[in-house]
Each structure stands twice: as C-alpha cells, then as structure tokens.
Amino acid sequence: MLKYIVKRLLLLPPLVLAVSLVIFMFLRLSGAEPALAYLRAASIPLTDQSIALAERQLGLDKPIWDQYWHWLTHAAQLDFGTSYMTSRPVWDDILYFLPATLQLSAFALFITLALSLPMAVWAARYRDKWPDFSIRGLAFIGVSIPNFWLAFMLVLLFAVQLRWLPAMGYGGLSHMLLPGFAIAFMSLCINARLLRASMLEAQGQRYVRYARMRGISERRIERTHVLRNSLLPIITAVGMHIGELIGGALVVETIFAWPGIGRYVLNAISNNDYPVIQCFTLLLTMIFILCNLLIDIAYALLDPRIRLEANA
Amino acid sequence: MRFLCFITALLISSASLAESVIQFSWNTNAGPLNPHQTSPNQMYAQAMLYEPLVRYGEGGTIQPWLAKRWERSDDGKRYRFFLREDVRFSNGDTFDAQAVKLNFEQVLANIEKHNWLELINQMDHIAVVDKFVVDLHMKTSYYPTLQELTLVRPVRFMAPSAFPDEGHTGQGIKASIGTGPWVRTESVLGVKDVFERNPHYWGKKPAFDKVEVAVIGDPSARALAFESNLVNFIYGLEGQISPDTFSRLQKNPDLHTDISAPLSTRLIALNSGRFGTRDKVVRQAINHAIDREGIAKGIFYGTEVPAPFLFAPNVPYADVGLKPYDFSPQRANTLLEQAGWNLNTATGVRVKDAKPLALELIYHGHDANQKAIAEVLQANLKQIGVELALVAEERSRFYNRQKNGEFDLIFNNTWGTPYDPHSFVSGMRRPSHADYMAQVGLPNKASIDALIDQLLVSTDKSKRKAQYAELFNSLHDQAVYLPVTYQRVVAVSKPELGPPTMSNTVFDVPFSDFVQQK
C-alpha cells in the first residue's frame, strides 16, 4: 500500500507541470486581453498609451515563454504573482478565501452523507411502496434543480418569509445551513438513489439469504450484511461529489455572500485575471488528484479483496 | 414605582445610546482607500473619505467645497483657490495650501498612470501663496479644469503625514486619512467595510453613527439581503439592483424609493466607415426605427428613460434644441426606399448594388441588458428590411472591437457626470476610442476634431456654447450615434433611514444626507 501511495505521489509533480503549461497556454491563446479588462475595471479610458502601460505593469508585454518561465519559477516558491484586480498577492488571497470554501464544501459533504444514507435505507426497506416512490421522486427533482435557483428559493422561504435563518453572511452553523443544503441537494439525491440500488442488489445476494435462514433479525441483516456491502459504490460517488460540491460552492457562495474563493475566482474569470485563474486551476487539480488518491486508499481499507499493490 | 421609572429611564437611554447604522452593500471590498489610485479602490468609499476643492452641483454648476472661493486669470491658465480655514484631516492635521500642493505633486509624480485625464496632463505646477491660498498653474486654458477637480480621483486630498516615506502615493499609503465626513474603522476581506463619523469633520455631521458595507456581489442576493433586513439602503446604477426588483420595491408604501436625473447615456455607435452604416440615410433610418419607449419600459421598467439625443438636456452645453428622430418605422422605410435600398421580397432584406443590408451588432456577452436591447433592435430593424446579426463577445474582446473599429454597431456609454460632455467629446479625437472609429468615415471628421480642439481651450463661455451646439448638431445630423436610454441612479431605503437624497454624480453616495427618523 505504501509503495502504491509513494508511486502516485511521485507522479504528482510531472502532472502538475503539464497542467500548468496547458492552463497557461490556453489562457493566452484564448484571444482575451487582460490589460483592457483591467483598465475598464479601473475606469481608465482605453488609449494606446494606457494599454501599453497596463501591459507593462502586468508583465504582458514580454514573450509568452518568458512569461511562463517567470511564472513557473515563482510559482514553485509559492509566489503566484499579484492579482490584476485586487493588487494583492494571489497566494495570500487564496489562503484567505479557500478555508471558507472548504468549510462549506465539507459541511455540504456531511449533509450529503448524513441524509442520503437514511433516505436510501428507508427506500430500500420499503421497496415499491410510498416511501420508496417519494424518495425516488425527490431524487428525480433533486438532480434536475440548479443549485443557484434552489439557493434563492431557500433564502426566500427560510430567511425572508419565515425568518428562521440568516439570509446570508459568514458565521456559525445557522449561516451554513442554507448554502450547505443548496450545494448538497443534488449530490445527496444522487447518493440516495445509488445506495438504494446497491442495497437492493445486495439484498438478493446468497449471503443475505443464508443469514435469513440462520434466523438473524432483518435489522441486523440490513445493517451488517446489506449496508456494509453496499457502501463501496458510495465511496466512488463521494470522490465525484467532492468536485461537484466545490464547484457548487463557487456559485452558491455569491448568493449567500459567503467569503469563500468562489466570488474571488468568478470575478477573476470574468476579468481575465490570469494569475488568479492559473493559481486556482492548479490548486483545484491538486485537490482532485489527492482526493482520488484518498478514495483509492479508502477502497482498500473497506474491502480487503482490493489490492492496490497488485493494480499498481 | 421608583423602580419602574428607573427601568423606563434605562430603556430610553439605552435606546438612545444604540448605534444608528446605515447598512449598505457593494460588490467588493472598498480597497486600500488610496485617493490617488484607481482599482481596487472603490470610488463610493474614496468619496466618503476624501473631498474635492469644488463640488459638482445640479446641472453641472461648480460649487465651493474645501475651497470657499476661487479666481481664474484672464488667460485661463491660473486658478487661485481660497481654502476654508476650519478643515482638519481625520487625524487632526490641518488642511492647508501646503497639503493641497503636496497632494497634487504626489499625483504628478505618478503622471504616467493619470495622463488619461486631461486635467493632469494640463497641470503645470502648484504654488502656495498663503497658508490658505494656493495657485494652480495650467499649461493651457483648459476650460473643464474646475469640472475635473470635482472628480473622486485622483484630485482629492489626504493628510501628507499618511504619504509613504519613500516614493509616491501611487506605490502605497500609510493610512487612509482624509477630510471627509467618514473614516474607515474596520475592513474584513470578502465580508464588510465599516465607516464611522469623522470626529474632526468641518461640515454638517452625518446623522448616523456608522455605515456598514457588506460585500454582496449579486443583484438578486442584494435584494434578498434588503428584504431580510441585512441591508437597509441600496443605491447605484444598473448592477446594484435589477429594474424589475426596483419596480416591485417601488410599489411597497413602507419603503422610500427615488430615481436620479439622467447621469449618462446608454448608446450604440454606428460605424460610418463600414458597408451599410457608411450611408447616412441608413444611420438615420436606424434612429427612426428603434423603439426607445418600449426599451425603457419593457427592459428597464422606467428606471431608464428614452434618450433622443447623445446627451440629456441636463448635461452642461447639451440643451441645444435638436429635433429628435421620432419612432417611425414608416419614415425609416421611406428614407431607405428613397436612397435606393430596395426591399427583396423573398428575403425581406433591403438590397443596394446587389449587396444586402445585413449588419452586425456587437454586445458584451455577460450583460443581460445589452442582450435584451439587442434583441429588441433586431426585431425593430427587421421591420425596415435591415438584417441585424447579434454577436456576443467576451469582455476584453468587446473592448478590443471598440478600439479597433471592428463593428457595424456596438454598445457604448457616455462617461457620465462629471465627465460629460467634455471628456466624452475629447475622446472622439483618439483613435483608440469607439467614437473615433464610429466617426472615421464621416466627411467632416477633420473639422469635428478641430472644433473639439478649439472648444476645450476656449475661454469665452458663449463662444464655447456655440461651438458645442455646432458639434452636437453635426453629430445628430450625421446620426453616427444611436442613443438608447438615459441611465439614472436608483435608491431604496428602509423606513428607519427616511427618504434618500439623490446626488449629482454616480459615485457620491449620499450617506451623510440621511436624517434620523423618530
């Protein structure tokens, strides 16, 4: 196992290097001109002079390979440059904003798991009865609703009409409930359906029949034989959900005025703020790679039949 | 009984001690609040802390502010300002002629950054005459000097003790210390900025103790924050609140709403150098075909008003009695017919010299209002046999097209008060502006540019007025612009703030004008 992990970690630097090159070049080949976006954001009229000055100040007047080499060598030392829009160091900003996003995403992941598990068990236990139909119906709605729309509806109901929860802002659990649920809803619906299907499949296995014949209670069979054997697909799904949840947080944060990285990055994207886009994309790539690695390890721990070393 | 009285007195005193707060929101933090720098400093906040020598009043009148009066030399090259003697910076330092001189010199030390502003280009030097008298010497008799001294940046004043020890303010400041009615006391990145009353303020003290500005980026989220009492004041141009939400809030009798006078013009530039729009008749027909009233009502719910002219009549020098192009598809059709643009009945598109009258309108892809106007215009032009293709562009590519003249029609705005009309017409002479590119095919382009050169340095007001009239008449006749609507600032406040006042510029948010409600 250790050998496998080390191998995967060793693959990380070349992968990150390749990704950095792709991001850098794609941004520059897109035809966008960050100096123009920068000047307009600063309410400075576009003149040949002001554009030339802005390009010089932003380092965009140098040949593209020089720009890349300069960025790469500095990025290796965690210096990702200065944001065109905020004039602050990008890495400092990312370190400032990212924890709030991770906090919200982690909370959404918690909601996903905490709600999808009982929903799936309930649906599987009462297969083709009203609890099953209602959860399947809810799951269908869940995967169809965009998270930003759900976010607005939740605020209207719980903050504006009922006044039970704060409409927005950064704070404790009460501030996280609405954005967390808005982000988690789709994932929890997918999870519930996935786990339900997996449980129904497990219920048909021979070891479940034998357990029944041994006179073990239904609840115990459900808990120890069905549920535990159905969890493996959920682990895979969680790997996918992490991406969904972080992506969802980026959009939903704007609605809830949550001081995460979402608003910062969306603003950077619409203003062609290259240093921010480059740093964030690279960071997200690393988060995804590491999450996948963790999922693989979790697989091995949960199911001894899987041997990572053999696959490696 | 005595105990009850004590409790009542305590309650009354605690109520009166409770802080009164204006809860505002903005889409980003206020920034470092450097008066001599642009982005990321937010202009609404710079205007709260830093004050100008003179202020922009209604209809473009210039009002005394930190300067109680001024004199202009006959040649228009020297302005003498007599400063108020009771002004202190928020740290207690005295505001005097030396502070004015040092501030202007800091701006001039970073002239490369500010030379887009003609005032800075034209500044020669500043001389202290007396402790409270200062002379501003200009290179030419640039007439909009006073008007540009009203700007939020970079010509407002911070305490010289807050300048950096080395370099100039363009490289950073030690602290944000101005003479304005507010001081910033707290800033939490991504969350809020807090402003409190300046204890040394020379003018009328604001009635409220604090202004808390939450960072809310989305207009719909801002509306929800308002409805859930997290925000009690909304103020600004489009982007602060959607027109339909404002229209809904207007109907609530418990709220105070108001709309300013026109502050800028939303327009579409027609390229006189490209096929189709090169023909003056086509440009005039387009001006007759657009349903401005429908756009103002249907898209902006009346928050913007139809714009028959390039500048609203309240803009200085702009009320020159032009005859509007009234909405008349019939008139547009007649004009095109007479000019030889014949309708191809099979395609529904007019043709001349075997070329169809097919044009492209470039809009900014993220701007929902531009897209909606573009769709209305497309339908309007179809009625007169003009095919209009709508092209959405990414932000910087949109500006690039403006700059390089790669458009038949493209959205644009006038610069708004206090830049209009002089800065906008000044930009018409610069090849990097959409206006220059739009006008490049006009037969009288050279004389237009020469006229602008003359009027900007004209010292005779009546002559300048005539020159502006000639310019606006010419541009209107050439129909090189398609004015759409006049943009106005909207304001909504909760009952505890009372009715808002509307300022004369976009960036001076009138926090100080609220009166405590009983």
Q: pLDDT tens for residues A159-191?
A: 988 999 998 988 889 999 999 999 999 999 999
Interface test with A, best of B46, B218, B245, B401 (most A CBs within 10 A): B218
Please report residues of B whose CB lies closer than 8 A to that of A45.
116, 415, 423, 427, 430, 433
Rounded Cα gap, residues B182 and B48, in angstroms: 6
Q: What are the C-alpha distances in Å from B212 to residues A151, B30, B51, B508?
A: 25, 11, 20, 16
Residue B364 near residue B393 (C-beta atoms within 8 A): yes
Work out the number of other CB atoms within 10 angstroms of the CB of residue B4: 8
Residue B108 near residue B121 (C-beta atoms within 8 A): no
The DSSP call for residue A270 is H
Cα B78 to its chain centre, rounded Å, is 28
Rounded Cα gap, residues B514 and B350, in angstroms: 56
Q: What are the C-alpha distances in Å from B181 to residues B14, B157, B454?
A: 25, 13, 39
A226-280 pLDDT per residue, tens: 888 888 888 878 877 887 888 888 889 989 999 999 888 988 988 889 999 999 9
Residue A275 near residue A74 (C-beta atoms within 8 A): no
Interface test with B, best of A47, A157, A252 (most B CBs within 10 A): A47
Q: Do B432 and A31 touch (CB under 8 A)?
A: no
Sequence-ordered list of residues with C-beta below 8 angstroms from that of A266, at least 6 positions apart, any chain = A250, A251, A254, B217
Among the listed residues B53, B14, B72, the one whose alpha carbon sits nearest the alpha carbon of residue B132:
B53
In a 13 Å sphere around the CA of A299, the CA atoms on its Cβ side amount to 20
- Residue A100 binned pLDDT confidence (cut-offs 50, 70, 90): very high
Q: Which of B221, B366, B431 sits opposite A168 (nearest CB)?
A: B221
Please report residues of A whose CB lies closer than 8 A to that of B218.
254-255
The answer to whether A32 contacts chain B (CB < 8 Å) is: yes
The answer to whether the bond into A45 is cis (omega within 30° of 0) is no
pLDDT computed for residue B35 by the predictor: 96
Residue A208 near residue A275 (C-beta atoms within 8 A): no
The DSSP call for residue B115 is T
- Residue A306 binned pLDDT confidence (cut-offs 50, 70, 90): low
Q: What are the C-alpha distances in Å from B37 to residues B41, B43, B61, B350?
A: 7, 10, 26, 51
In a 13 Å sphere around the CA of A213, the CA atoms on its Cβ side amount to 6
pLDDT computed for residue B376 by the predictor: 97
Residue A258 near residue A7 (C-beta atoms within 8 A): no
Q: What is the dihedral of CA A68, A71, A73, A75, to 10 degrees?
A: -140
Residue A223 to chain B, least CA–CA distance (Å): 43
A35-64 pLDDT per residue, tens: 888 887 777 777 778 888 888 888 888 898
The residue in chain B having the minimum alpha-carbon distance to the alpha carbon of residue A100 is B190
Furthest-apart CA atoms within chain A: distance in Å? 86
Interface of A with B in 41-70 (CB under 8 A): 41-51, 53
Sequence-ordered list of residues with C-beta below 8 angstroms from that of A239, at least 6 positions apart, any chain = A291, A292, A295
Low-confidence spans in chain B with pLDDT less than 50: 1, 3-16
Residue B342 near residue B326 (C-beta atoms within 8 A): no
Rounded Cα gap, residues B304 and B294, in angstroms: 11
Structure tokens that stand for A185 in this block: 């809803």
Q: Is A145 exposed, middle or buried (0-12, 13-18, 19+ CB in 10 A)?
A: middle
Helix/strand number for chain B, H first, E second: 17, 22
pLDDT computed for residue A217 by the predictor: 87
Query: pLDDT > 90: what percent of chain A?
Result: 38
Please report residues of A whose CB lies closer than 8 A to that of B249.
none
Put residue A288 in one of left, alpha, beta given phi > 0 → left and psi -120 to 50 → alpha: alpha
pLDDT computed for residue B15 by the predictor: 43
pLDDT computed for residue B437 by the predictor: 87
Please report residues of B whose CB lies closer than 8 A to that of A254.
217-218, 221
End-to-end CA distance of chain B: 27
Q: Which of B38, B217, B399 sits opposite A46 (nearest CB)?
A: B399
Instruction: Find the chain B residues whose C-beta atoms sit closer than 8 A to any C-beta of A.
Output: 28, 38-40, 43, 112-113, 115-116, 188-191, 214-218, 220-221, 224-225, 227-228, 230, 366, 394-397, 399-400, 402-403, 415, 423, 427, 430-433
Q: Which residue has the higher pLDDT, A11 or B340?
A: B340
Q: Do A37 and B395 touch (CB under 8 A)?
A: yes
Structure tokens that stand for B113 in this block: 């950054």
Q: Which of B217, B403, B415 sits opposite A46 (nearest CB)?
A: B403
- Residue A307 binned pLDDT confidence (cut-offs 50, 70, 90): low
Computed over every residue of chain A, the mean pLDDT equals 87
* Residue type (1 letter), A280: F
Structure tokens that stand for A195 in this block: 């786990």
- Residue A34 binned pLDDT confidence (cut-offs 50, 70, 90): confident
Among the listed residues B421, B355, B349, B423, the one whose alpha carbon sits nearest the alpha carbon of residue B382:
B349
Work out the number of other CB atoms within 10 angstroms of the CB of residue B1: 5
- Residue A295 binned pLDDT confidence (cut-offs 50, 70, 90): confident
Please report residues of B whose CB lies closer than 8 A to that of A33.
396-397, 399-400
Please report residues of B whose CB lies closer than 8 A to that of A53.
112-113
Structure tokens that stand for B258 in this block: 């108001």
Residue A183 near residue A251 (C-beta atoms within 8 A): no
